[in-house]
Each structure stands twice: as C-alpha cells, then as structure tokens.
C-alpha cells in the first residue's frame, strides 16, 4: 500500500471530485478578489459571483468530500480491505498522524477565516445598493427614481431594513421569497404599494432626521407653464410651515392647536398620536381618525360624523401616523409628466419658444405604450408630425431646437415611466401635497367630521403661505404675509371648493 498522508476514507471518487470543486472555486474566488482589488470599476455581478455563487460551490465541494468519506468509511468498515479501523486513534508520536493533524488544523483554520470574511462580504453584498437595485432588474423603476432622489447616497437597506438582527432576518426571509418569485416570474407588475410590512419609519428615518431638528418653514418655488401656444410661465412660491419649536412660530392664525408643537410636523411630535383606519389597500380612503394629545384627551373624526361600524374597522388597516404616511416617496418618486415637463422647460432643456410644446410633450408622454422603445419612437413621431402639420416653419428653421426638445422628452420618459414593469406615477401617488394626488386632503377637508360636525381643516393658510404667483405685474415681489391663491386660469372659484385632483392628475387631461 502507498504511504497515504490522509485518512484512508478520503481516497474515493466522490471526495476527489469534491476536493476539485472546492479548490477550484476557492482559487477563482482568490483570483476575483485580486481583480477586484486592482481593477477600479468592476461590476456588481463580480461581487455576486465572488461572495455568493462561488462560496456555494466551495461548500458543495466540502459536502461532497464528507459524503464520499462517509460512504468509503462504511465500505471499509464492512471489510472491503479486510481490516477494521478504530473510530479515532490519533498518535502524535506517529509522524503520519502528526502530518494529518497539521493539515487538518491548517485547512480548517483557513476555511473558517475564509468563511468569516466571506459571510461578512455576503452580508454586505445582499445589503448593497447594487444587489437590491441594479442586479435585480425588477427593481429597475425603483432604482432609477432612487438615483435622482435626495437619498441617492442612502442605501436601500437603511430604509428598508434598518439596524438590528430581527429585521435583518425577517427581510432576508422575505427577500428569499422575492428572489424565488422573480425567478418564477410570479411577481406582480407594478410592484404593489404601500409596503405593508415596512419597518416603522421612526426606527429608520429618525436615524438621520429627528423631529427636534425640524425648524420653521421651508420655501418652495414651483415652475409652471400653461398649455397655451406661448407656454406662458406661471411660477408659484410657497412658504411651507414645516414646523418646529414654539419660539419660531410663523404667525399661522388658522392653526387648531396651540400646544408647544406646531406646523406640519405637529403630527409626529412627541405630544400627539394620530391613529387612522384606511378601508382600501392603498391607504387612500380613510374612514376614521383619532387624535390623542399629551394629556390623553382624544378627538375622533368619522365619515359624516356617523359612529363608525366595528365591522368596517375590523376590515381596515389600522395605523399610527408616522413619516411615511406623508413621505411615502422619499426615494422612489415617479413625478408626473406635467411636473417633469414644467421642470425641463424651466431648465431650458426644452425650449419654451416651441409653440404648444408643454401641451404636446405631456400628451405624448401620457400615452399607452407596451415597451420603452415603442414609446421613444412614438414620441419622436408625434412631435415631428405635430410641428410638420401645424408649424412647418419650426421644422425648417428651428430643427435643432426641435431635436433637442424631442431628446429631452424621451429622456423624461426613460427616467419616469416603465411600461415593462407597468409603472407610472399614477400607480405610486405621492402623499406630500394635494395638487396632483389626494395627499393631505385624504383627511383635511374630507368627509371626515367629529360628531359635532367639525372638519379637519382645509384652510389654505394653515399649511403654507403663498409668497408670489404668476408672471403678471408685481409677480416677482414677495408677499411675506401670504396671498390668496389665484388659479392660473379663471375657473370661477372652483379651486377653493373642489379638490385640485378632481381636475389635475399630472397627465394629459390638463397639461
Ligand atoms: C429614504 C428611504 C428609502 C431608500 C433609501 C430606499 N427606499 Fe424603497 N421605499 C421607501 C419607502 C418609504 C417606500 C414606500 C413605502 C410605502 O408607501 O409603504 C419604499 C418602497 C419600495 C418598493 C415598493 C414599491 C414602491 O415604490 O412603493 C420597492 C420595490 C423599493 N422601495 C425598493 C428599493 C430599492 C431597490 C432601493 C435601493 C436602490 C430602495 N428601495 C431605497 C424608502 C426607501
Ligand atoms: C442614512 C441617513 C438617512 C436616512 C435613513 C433617511 N434620510 Fe432623508 N435625507 C438624508 C439626507 C442626507 C438628505 C438630503 C439633505 C439635503 O439634500 O439637504 C435627506 C433628505 C430628506 C428629505 C428632504 C427632501 C428634499 O426634497 O429636500 C425628506 C423629506 C426626507 N429626507 C425624508 C426621509 C424619510 C421619510 C426617511 C425614512 C423613510 C428618510 N428620509 C431616511 C438622509 C437620510
Ligand atoms: C403630515 C405629513 C408629514 C409627516 C407625518 C411628516 N412630514 Fe416631513 N414634511 C412634510 C411636508 C409637507 C414637508 C415640506 C415639503 C417637502 O419638503 O417636501 C416636510 C419636510 C420634511 C423634511 C425637509 C425639511 C426641510 O426643512 O427641508 C424632512 C427632512 C422631513 N420632512 C422628514 C420627516 C420625518 C423624518 C418624519 C417622521 C418623523 C416626517 N417628516 C413626518 C410632511 C410630513
Ligand atoms: C390621517 C389623516 C391626516 C393626514 C393624511 C394629514 N393630516 Fe394634518 N392633521 C390631521 C388631524 C387629525 C389634525 C388635527 C386637526 C384638529 O385638531 O382640528 C391635523 C392638523 C394639521 C395641521 C395643524 C397642526 C397645528 O399646528 O396645530 C397642519 C399644519 C397639518 N395637519 C398639515 C398636514 C399636511 C401638510 C398634510 C399632508 C402632507 C397632512 N396634514 C395630512 C390629520 C391628517
Ligand atoms: C393640510 C395642509 C394643506 C392645506 C390645508 C392646503 N395645502 Fe396647498 N399644499 C400643501 C403642501 C404640503 C404643498 C406642497 C406640495 C409639494 O411638496 O409639492 C401644497 C402646495 C400647494 C400649491 C402649489 C402647487 C404647485 O404644484 O405648485 C398651491 C397652489 C396650493 N397648495 C394651494 C392651496 C389652496 C388654494 C388651498 C386651500 C384650498 C391649500 N393649498 C390648502 C398643503 C396644504
Ligand atoms: C375645475 C377644474 C380645476 C380645479 C379644481 C383646479 N384646476 Fe388648476 N387648472 C385647471 C385648468 C383647466 C388649467 C389650465 C390648463 C392649461 O392651460 O395649462 C389649470 C392649470 C393649473 C396650473 C398651471 C398648469 C400646470 O399645472 O403647470 C396650476 C399650477 C394649477 N392649475 C394649480 C391648481 C391647484 C393648486 C388647484 C387646487 C387648489 C387647482 N389647480 C384646481 C383646472 C382646475
């Protein structure tokens, strides 16, 4: 018999194959690590291969070795070689045993270290933005919107998982199911929102933002252009009463509350708790709201002040209001064609001198398309045909202006609409505001009243003051005390009576 340095039972085909698989995978991992260290721009797929796929093969190899050894040992015990071997008999005076022990300890040590480094990296990898956003193509819309959001440098996991082992395990379990449903093409399109098992926002958002830090007011300047031939500009400047400590009050007479906290973030101040019941899956239809203040006093609003049916409550989702009941799109905000075209005209990416460009751009963005490539060619065709028919001189004299506008409109489509995943801004309404989706007006000014008939206020100066509006004379002087809203086109006072969303929804109905 040859002088074998390893246990007899290793010498079988299964184990040999196992060794080959494990060693080969391990060598590839080392090689990829070297590439990763020396080459700057490697792809996300490399990490997936290095830290997740190959380690699985290393483990598979090790399992094969063990299985092979077990089978071989059984065979040996049954007397294939005619002699019985004791279970374990290590004699350190025997140089063959010494060598075997040394090899075993060395290999185990290296393996354990590699496992530690590997699992840390696997952990990092599955938490990485590339893993969640780029590799998983289903997330393409979320990832695209995320990249142009104020949170583009906050990792997906910081909002979706947060700190602590419990949520980590929970998210990996549901993540495993998600990977399966993607592979099996079982996932719904668009991905449903809201995320019903999202971690409570106060545990994630408040890592970086905490209510004490909100202060005073925030100025917002929104650019608008009408759908007329001149694309008439109509900017609106608002001062949003974000809220803060009592000392920094910005004179809002309409406020129903006079406790220390005020303004929009009053909803999430330590002193209050607002519970509500939504009867639909998307939390848009609210049937019951209850406020509990710092003294424990409560106030309830129900539909038309009628006592709320227990059956309705049982069938509803009950929530305590937190950040995402308003900021539900902090990172994946699919803006409407109206907003994006307004912005592109304001930035000069679309030239305002092109007649009716606001109206036409919104119209062709908000059409039905099966695929992105179909949309891009239709947009090109729509705009060229429109100008060729209506304004042939534009096609002749301002061809490059038109080309640039077409490219910008196509760019807007690619950034905000995803026909393959059936994602549009309509499927993911933004709850901050009220002009294109119902947002604040789910409660404020809705049919919810107290038993005494008191509404949740919709007073136009409670949440903001309008500092400047329109492009008429005097529009550039700011009115610190606030203006009465004047609708850009005369709609006979409807803007104060009817919710903006009855007419506006960001698409082609009103440009
Ligand atoms: C700033 C926090 C934040 C970050 C960062 C973030 N998300 Fe989200 N995500 C949210 C919130 C909030 C929701 C919606 C919750 C709701 O309405 O229930 C959401 C919803 C989603 C949804 C469900 C569909 C939808 O749009 O409502 C997916 C899928 C998703 N996120 C994926 C990702 C991916 C992938 C990344 C990283 C590229 C990421 N998220 C980064 C906060 C975040
Ligand atoms: C890891 C830190 C971090 C986490 C977690 C985080 N944010 Fe932010 N957030 C930021 C940073 C950084 C900014 C950008 C500040 C800036 O641009 O001035 C920001 C900006 C914002 C803004 C202002 C956006 C604007 O239009 O300027 C809002 C609103 C916001 N975050 C809400 C949230 C919500 C809601 C959550 C939880 C779902 C959250 N954030 C989680 C770091 C974070
Ligand atoms: C009642 C709705 C509502 C709730 C609840 C809410 N916010 Fe806001 N928040 C707003 C509005 C409206 C603004 C101003 C508009 C904007 O910045 O988009 C704002 C602004 C902000 C800003 C930007 C502030 C600035 O001055 O630039 C941050 C950051 C923020 N919120 C984080 C949070 C966090 C974190 C929570 C949860 C603890 C939260 N908000 C809860 C409605 C809300
Ligand atoms: C789930 C219901 C609900 C939603 C959604 C909601 N609110 Fe409120 N809000 C309330 C209730 C209830 C009150 C207290 C009304 C009262 O006591 O008369 C309130 C009060 C306020 C106040 C007065 C706070 C103070 O200083 O006393 C402001 C400002 C406000 N909300 C802004 C907003 C804004 C902005 C949004 C949308 C981004 C919004 N709310 C969305 C329920 C809601
Ligand atoms: C419950 C709070 C609340 C009330 C009440 C309220 N608004 Fe607003 N409004 C907001 C918020 C929040 C925004 C900012 C939305 C955003 O971030 O884009 C806004 C934005 C606006 C804008 C700018 C829209 C744009 O796209 O430029 C106008 C105009 C406006 N509101 C008019 C009104 C009028 C008129 C009323 C009274 C009928 C009113 N608002 C009542 C919260 C409120
Ligand atoms: C009865 C229907 C109706 C209601 C209600 C209404 N609007 Fe309008 N809105 C219009 C029409 C029609 C136009 C003109 C479209 C055009 O020529 O661009 C318009 C145009 C606008 C524009 C300029 C175009 C743009 O979007 O860039 C703004 C801003 C606007 N409305 C804000 C509001 C706000 C805020 C509210 C709620 C307070 C509101 N509207 C309520 C019908 C309405």
Q: How confident is the model at residue 10 (pLDDT cuts 50, 70, 90)?
A: confident
Q: What is the pLDDT of residue 7?
A: 79
Q: What is the pLDDT of residue 261?
A: 66
Q: Is residue 354 helix, strand or coil?
A: coil
> Percent of the chain, pLDDT > 70?
86
Report yes or no: 19 and 66 within 8 Å, Cβ to Cβ: no
> Most confidently modeled of 157-166, 241-250, 376-385?
376-385
Nearest ligand to residue 431 Cα:
4
Q: Which of 359, 488, 492, 505 has most ligand 6 atoms within 8 Å of its beta carbon, as the pocket-test mutant?
A: 488
Residue of higher predicted confidence among 164 and 463 = 463
Q: Report whether pLDDT(217) > 50.
A: yes
Between 163-167, 261-265, 483-487, the lowest mean confidence (pLDDT) is in 163-167
Residue whose Cα lies nearest atom 25 of ligand 6: it is 224
Residue whose Cα lies nearest atom 39 of ligand 1: it is 156
- The domains of the chain are located at 8-127, 143-187, 218-331+430-502, 337-427
Q: How confident is the model at residue 201 (pLDDT cuts 50, 70, 90)?
A: confident
Q: How confident is the model at residue 251 (pLDDT cuts 50, 70, 90)?
A: very low
Q: Report whether pLDDT(169) > 70.
A: no
Residue whose Cα lies nearest atom 17 of ligand 4: it is 256
Single pTM value for the model: 0.86
407: left (phi over 0), alpha (psi -120 to 50) or beta: alpha
CA 216 to ligand 1 center in whole angstroms: 28
Q: How far is CA 109 from CA 103, 114, 116, in A?
A: 10, 8, 11
**DSSP 8-class letter at 301:** E
CA 501 to ligand 6 center in whole angstroms: 9
Burial category of 251 from C-beta neighbours within 10 Å (exposed 0-12, middle 13-18, buried 19 and up): exposed
Q: Report whether pLDDT(27) > 80.
A: yes
Dump pLDDT digits (tens) for 395-447.
Answer: 999 999 999 999 999 999 999 999 999 999 999 999 999 999 999 999 999 99
Dump pLDDT digits (tens) for 170-179.
Answer: 776 676 666 6
Nearest ligand to residue 301 Cα:
4
CA 156 to ligand 1 center in whole angstroms: 7
Residue 291 CA to residue 297 CA, distance in Å, equals 8
Q: How confident is the model at residue 249 (pLDDT cuts 50, 70, 90)?
A: very low
> Percent of the chain, pLDDT > 90?
50
Residue 335 CA to residue 429 CA, distance in Å, equals 9
Give start and end residues of each alpha helix (H) in 317-419.
Answer: 337-347, 357-365, 372-390, 392-397, 399-416
218-243 mean pLDDT: 94
CA 485 to ligand 4 center in whole angstroms: 20
Ligand 6 near 338 CB (within 6 A): yes
Burial category of 359 from C-beta neighbours within 10 Å (exposed 0-12, middle 13-18, buried 19 and up): buried
Residue 220 CA to residue 238 CA, distance in Å, equals 5
Q: Which of 140, 147, 159, 319 has most ligand 1 atoms within 8 Å of its beta carbon, as the pocket-test mutant?
A: 159
């Amino acid at each position: 018999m040859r002088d074998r340095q390893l246990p007899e039972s290793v010498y079988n085909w299964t184990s040999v194959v196992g060794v080959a698989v494990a060693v080969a995978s391990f060598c590839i991992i080392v090689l990829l690590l070297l590439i990763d260290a020396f080459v700057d721009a490697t792809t996300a797929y490399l990490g997936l291969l290095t830290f997740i796929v190959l380690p699985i093969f290393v483990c598979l190899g090790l399992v094969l070795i063990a299985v092979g050894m077990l089978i071989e040992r059984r065979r040996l015990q049954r007397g294939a070689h005619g002699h019985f071997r004791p279970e374990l008999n290590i004699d350190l005076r025997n140089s063959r045993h010494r060598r075997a022990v040394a090899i075993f300890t060395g290999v185990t040590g290296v393996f354990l270290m590699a496992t530690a480094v590997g699992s840390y990296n696997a952990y990092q990898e599955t938490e990485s933005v590339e893993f969640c956003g780029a590799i998983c193509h289903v997330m393409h819309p979320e990832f695209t919107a995320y990249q142009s959001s104020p949170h583009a440098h906050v990792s997906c996991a910081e909002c979706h998982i947060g700190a602590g082992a419990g949520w980590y395990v929970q998210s990996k379990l549901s993540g495993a199911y998600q990977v399966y449903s993607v592979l099996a093409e079982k996932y719904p399109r668009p991905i449903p929102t809201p995320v019903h098992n999202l971690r409570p926002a106060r545990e994630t958002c408040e890592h970086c933002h905490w209510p004490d830090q909100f202060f005073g007011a925030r100025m917002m300047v929104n650019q608008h252009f009408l759908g007329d031939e001149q694309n008439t500009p109509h900017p609106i400047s608002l001062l949003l009463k974000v809220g803060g400590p009592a000392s920094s009050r910005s004179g809002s007479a309409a406020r129903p509350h006079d406790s220390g906290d005020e303004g929009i973030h009053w909803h999430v101040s330590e002193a209050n708790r607002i519970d509500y019941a939504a009867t639909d899956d998307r939390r848009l239809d609210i049937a019951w709201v209850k406020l509990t203040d710092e003294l424990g006093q409560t106030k309830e609003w129900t539909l038309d002040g009628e006592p709320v049916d227990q059956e309705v409550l049982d069938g509803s989702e009950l929530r305590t209001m937190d950040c995402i009941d308003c900021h539900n799109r902090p990172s994946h905000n699919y803006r409407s064609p109206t907003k994006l075209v307004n912005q592109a005209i304001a930035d000069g990416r679309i030239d305002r001198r092109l007649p009716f460009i606001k109206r036409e751009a919104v119209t062709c963005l908000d059409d039905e398309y099966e695929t992105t490539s179909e949309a891009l060619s239709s947009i090109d065709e729509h705009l060229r045909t429109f100008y060729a028919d209506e304004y042939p001189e534009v096609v002749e004299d301002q061809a490059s202006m038109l080309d640039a506008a077409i490219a910008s409109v196509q760019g807007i489509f690619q950034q905000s609409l995803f026909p393959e995943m059936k994602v549009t801004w309509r499927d993911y309404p933004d709850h901050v505001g009220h002009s294109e989706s119902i947002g604040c007006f789910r409660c404020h000014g809705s049919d919810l009243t107290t038993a005494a008939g008191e509404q949740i206020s919709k007073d136009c100066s409670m949440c903001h003051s309008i500092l400047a509006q329109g492009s008429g004379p005097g529009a550039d002087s700011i009115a610190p005390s606030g203006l009465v809203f004047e609708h850009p086109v005369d709609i006979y006072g409807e803007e104060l009576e009817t919710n903006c969303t009855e007419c506006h929804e960001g698409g082609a109905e009103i440009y």
